[in-house]
Amino acid sequence: MATAHKAPDAAKDRAAPGPAAADVGPDTTELESLFDAAVAADERIEPRDWMPDAYRATLVRQIAQHAHSEIIGMQPEANWITRAPSLRRKAILMAKVQDEAGHGLYLYSAAETLGVSRDELLDKLHSGRQKYSSIFNYPTLTWADVGAIGWLVDGAAITNQVPLCRCSYGPYARAMVRVCKEESFHQRQGYELLLALSRGTPEQHAMAQDAVDRWWWPSLMMFGPPDAESSHSEQSMTWKIKRHSNDELRQRFVDICVPQAESLGLTLPDPDLRWDEERGHHTFGPIDWSEFWSVLKGNGPCNEERITQRRRAHEEGAWVREAAAAYAAKHSDHDKDRRPAALGTPAEATA
């Protein structure tokens, strides 16, 4: 918990979120330098601490986008729950999709500590004013895609997210610790799924190779545009929201994946991929950034379907949420005592 940058009592009102906080008071400069010093000293910024408006806005945008990605990311995988080829795989996949909903919940809670509401953020997702990771606009065409998503997409996500466990904003960093634990489990399961296919029948092997061929480049794009074109990078690094550049993380990911692909007995679809002795890294071929920007602008294979399904689930569920609110309003007093026990105890038994 940081102490050096605590807002003095007089400044508390201005520390509230929202446009009003843009107000320039006489001591903003002092608060700003305390904040900068705290960040420089690797102290954690907490919800009640003063923070620059732009820092708050950047975090809201990033955490919301992260939460939205978890929620939209349920769709490509849920697409295979009803077709999973064994009961063991079906259980693993259901548990994974459930975890993703849980990650969405952690992340919306982290975003809410910055003064926004989950409903407000969901509205922005549904109306296209906030984005989610463009990787989820690719379709899952075969069962092997479930494995490729686990290995490559979750692998890329972990490479991105592990440094976020040291992010300067405390609630986000703590959410990432929990998320990363579960994600790395999913990633190993995805790898193991692909391994079973790769060592299976020729048809299964071909299915695995095809999935890796389709997911490899989109996974590399998950690290974002090249450093030279990344608009938010520099400021985020100064604020210690981000710890490494896009290109650094992408390189790290490639270096991790190459030997894993070899152990899997699968190839990566890049003729330029080779070990560079001098750099001590793998060199890889050029990324098709026109595809990346096109997907990001909404022209990917599934952009329309993903957002339509999300909106529909929300709209069709409106009457359920209204019912829950109406019931809670009617019974807020006399049910208060029994509800926690009734919901708490049996849930623990199934945990």
What mask of x and - would describe binding to other proteins in positions 156 to 195, judged by CB under 8 A? Answer: -------------------------------------x--
Contact indicator for 104, 70 with CB cutoff of 8 Å? yes
Among 272, 316, 333, 337, binds other proteins (CB under 8 A): 316
Q: What is the DSSP letter of 269?
A: S
Contact indicator for 268, 261 with CB cutoff of 8 Å? yes
In which region does residue 139 sit, left (phi positive, over 0), alpha (psi from -120 to 50) or beta (all else)? beta
CA 95 to chain centre: 17
Q: Tell the smallest beta-carbon distance from residue 215 to other proteins (Å).
A: 19
Structure tokens at 124: 């922005």
Contact indicator for 143, 85 with CB cutoff of 8 Å? yes
List of residues 6+ apart from 12 with CB closer than 8 A: none
What mask of x and - would describe binding to other proteins in positions 201 to 230, judged by CB under 8 A? Answer: x-xx--------------------------
Name the nearest CA neighbour of 77 among 92, 63, 93.
93
Restricting to residues 81-110, name those near other proteins by CB under 8 A. Answer: 81-91, 94-95, 97-98, 101-102, 104-105, 108
Select from 209-217, 253-261, 281-289, 308-316 the region that touches other proteins (CB under 8 A).
308-316
Nearer to other proteins, 86 or 231 (CB): 86
274 in helix, strand or coil? Answer: strand
| Under rule CB under 8 A, residue 117 binds other proteins | no
Select from 28-36, 40-48, 75-83, 295-303 the region that touches other proteins (CB under 8 A).
75-83
| Under rule CB under 8 A, residue 3 binds other proteins | no
One-letter amino acid for residue 215 of the chain: W
What mask of x and - would describe binding to other proteins in positions 326 to 345, judged by CB under 8 A? Answer: xxx-xx----------xx--
Q: Tell the smallest beta-carbon distance from residue 178 to other proteins (Å).
A: 14
Q: Tell the smallest beta-carbon distance from residue 190 to other proteins (Å).
A: 13
Q: Tell the smallest beta-carbon distance from residue 326 to other proteins (Å).
A: 5
| Under rule CB under 8 A, residue 150 binds other proteins | no
| Under rule CB under 8 A, residue 350 binds other proteins | yes
How far from 213 is each of 217, 228, 261, CA to CA, in Å?
A: 8, 27, 11
Structure tokens at 183: 């994600």
Q: Tell the smallest beta-carbon distance from residue 106 to other proteins (Å).
A: 11
Q: What is the DSSP letter of 164?
A: G
Nearer to other proteins, 10 or 328 (CB): 328
Structure tokens at 168: 């300067």
Select from 14-22, 80-88, 209-217, 275-283 the region that touches other proteins (CB under 8 A).
80-88
Among 277, 280, 319, 334, binds other proteins (CB under 8 A): 319
Give the C-alpha separation, 105 to 229, whole Å. 31
Nearer to other proteins, 126 or 252 (CB): 126
Give the C-alpha separation, 171 to 123, whole Å. 22
Nearer to other proteins, 75 or 251 (CB): 75
List of residues 6+ apart from 344 with CB closer than 8 A: none
Nearer to other proteins, 16 or 341 (CB): 341
List of residues 6+ apart from 155 with CB closer than 8 A: 187, 190, 219, 253, 256, 257
Give the C-alpha separation, 74 to 153, whole Å. 13
- The binding site for other proteins (CB under 8 A) comprises 71, 74-75, 78, 81-91, 94-95, 97-98, 101-102, 104-105, 108, 143, 193, 196-197, 200-201, 203-204, 309, 312-314, 316-328, 330-331, 342-343, 346-347, 349-350
